[in-house]
Structure 1
Amino acid sequence: MRMRKKAWARPELAQCPYYIQDPRGMRGSWLEWYPKRRPLHIELGCGKGVFTSEIAAANPEINYLGIDLSDDVLGVARRNIEAAFEQAGRTPDNIALTAYNIELIGDILSPQDVVDRIYINFCNPWPRTKHHKKRLTHTRQLEKYKRFLAPGGEIHFKTDNADLYLATQRYLRESGFEILWQTKDLKAEPDAIDIPTEHELMFAAQGIPIKAITARLRDPVPDPAKDSGREDVQAIREELEKLGYPNTL
């Protein structure tokens, strides 16, 4: 369900120091934008910012970026951020918001924008088969995330949708991720540390179990052929040096 237009949202965002109006212009320089260079975590589809505001206020040693398509919903997120940081007695210095289509995430994040963790909370399940590629956890999207996700970087995923939960496990494995942890009922996990989103609170009130997955990007498998080639080149270089030839390799 779409949020009603909020006349105050865009004017407030225009005056917000941590709202990025031109995210494409930030491509390749996100790490330098924050006052202090710290690990970068992003939430894709941050909505009203309930999750992002709480986790950013509680973790000053991490920089956060919340991305959503709607300016109106980000206006609400800004207010939630201000409230969360005021309660924490802090200035919002480790958080940024921007509006962009996540299907085109490569337009605003490059391999230089090293992201250590991605949060995907209650994204659209796109239940019709012909729309599955629009899912934020689909292999098509995961391949885009891998371009800027750090080696060993993580994806933290939550959903109320059983089909999306099962499909996401397959998508992750197909894209070279290792599933570290998963649950069909987050509330039943005694050791789970959870900051609920607005959707999570709504579904929990309806008695719908929350499914969750934590996955890590596997290290790339070494290519023996490439490694062998590098060793051959190095051996040739050494032989040329012994014979007194200039090293042109």
Structure 2
Amino acid sequence: MRLRNKPWADDYMNENSHIVVADPFSKKGKWVSEFENENPVHIEIGTGKGQFITGMSKQYPNINFIGMERVKSVIVGAIKKVKEAEILNTRLLNEDADDLRELFEESEVDQIYLNFSDPWPKARHEKRRLTYKTFLEQYQSILKSDGKVVMKTDNRQLFEYSLVSFSQSGWTLEEVSLNLHNLEDATNVMTEYEEKFSEQGHPIYRCVVRVP
């Protein structure tokens, strides 16, 4: 689906600089000062329109959440949700996840969320998958010694690929669910995609892995 361009997106982000960090690279190693507390830092790669990160921020006010979304016409939806919810423990970054080590210092992050990431199904695009080994190396670098990655997807092929990738890189599988919603997990916060796919009867896969 082609995304509609929103020419007002830049102005909207500038107007909400208390939510969207204008120069996140300058915050590397200093995210504690950005939030003005020493609470754990959790990041979501691919925040989309912000339903997940907004819900998590309200549910866990003592955790600092950082949502990354590279598409301007999408991140404005997340800004609106965060603003309307009047939550203070969330920041958004209009950045790609090419190298998280440019944004976060070693051992600065407690948890990473990968929600319904692009599966990049073609073999020639394997390196773009967010669970490819080079991305796992990034996660390992910025996560604390007991840090975790939580992944959700409706794509079985990506899920199976990811389990193998995590295992081959020495990560510890703490949870593997082949149908998350059968667990009736009251703490689960759904993304927009998750709601859509679940209503269509698709199983939702989730895994929780700990750094080597």
Taking structure 2 as the reference length, what is the TM-score of the superposition? 0.94
Which of these two proteins has the greater Rg computed from alpha carbons? Answer: 1
Count of matched residue positions in the alignment of Structure 1 and Structure 2: 211
Shift, 1:9, TM fit = 2.5
- Secondary structure, in 3 states, of the residue corresponding to 1:168? helix
CA distance in 2, matches of 1:29, 1:174: 32
Supply the distance in 1 between the matched residues of 2:128 and 2:95 (Cα, whole angstroms).
15
| 2:96 equivalent to 1:101 | yes
- The residue type equivalent to 1:207 in the other structure is G
CA contact (8 A) 1:120 1:156 kept: yes
Query: What's the counterpart of residue 145 of structure 2?
Result: 151
Q: Distance in 1 between matches of 2:157 and 2:100?
A: 24
CA contact (8 A) 2:43 2:109 kept: yes
What's the CA shift for 1:191?
4.0
Gapped regions of structure 1 (runs ≥ 5) = 86-90, 219-249
Aligned to 2:177: 183
Aligned to 2:210: 216
**1:240: which partner in 2?**
none
**TM-align CA RMSD:** 1.4
**Alignment-mate amino acid for residue 97 of structure 1:** L
Contact residue 67 and residue 97 of structure 1 kept, 8 A: yes
Mapped to 2, the partners of 1:98 and 1:217 lie a distance apart of 24
Question: In structure 1, the residue corresponding to 2:99 is in which secondary structure?
Answer: helix
State whether residues 100 and 142 of structure 2, in contact with CA within 8 Å, keep that contact through their aligned partners in structure 1.
no
Residue among 129, 139, 142 paired with 2:133: 139
Equivalence map 1:76-95=2 (5 Å): 76-83=77-84, 85=85, 91-95=86-90
Identity %: 31
Confirm or deny: 8 A CA contact 1:126 1:134 kept in the other structure. yes
Shift of 1:192: 5.9
Residues 46 and 68 in structure 1, CA contact (< 8 A), matched pair in contact too: yes
The 5-angstrom pairing of residues 47-58 of structure 1 reads: 47-58=48-59
1:128-155 Cα deviation digits (max 9, x unpaired): 0110110111111010111110111011
Give the aligned partner of residue 164 of structure 1: 158
Read off the aligned partner of 1:44 and give its amino acid letter: I
Please tell me whether residue 196 in structure 1 is matched to residue 190 in structure 2: yes
Structure 2 equivalent of residue 222 of structure 1: none
SS in structure 2 at match of 1:120: strand
Partner of 1:9: 9
CA-to-aligned-CA distance 1:7-46 (integer Å, 9 cap, x gap) = 3322121111121111222222122210222100000011
Measure the CA separation in 2 of the matches of 1:147 and 1:33: 21
Residues 189-217 of structure 1: CA deviation (Å, up to 9, x unaligned): 13463110001011112111111101111
Letter in 2 for 1:29: K
CA-to-partner distance for each residue in 1:154-202, whole Å, 9 max, x for gaps?
1110001111000111111122210101111111113463110001011
Deviations 1:56-110 (A, max 9, x none): 1221100000001112211110111123x2xxxxx42211001111122222122
SS at match of 1:102: coil
1:40 aligns to what?
Answer: 41
Name the TM-score, length of structure 1 as normaliser: 0.81
Q: 1:201 to 1:190 in 2, by over 3 A?
A: closer
**Which structure would you say has the larger RCO, counting Cα contacts within 8 Å and 6 or more residues apart?**
2
Q: Distance in 2 between matches of 1:23 and 1:187?
A: 35
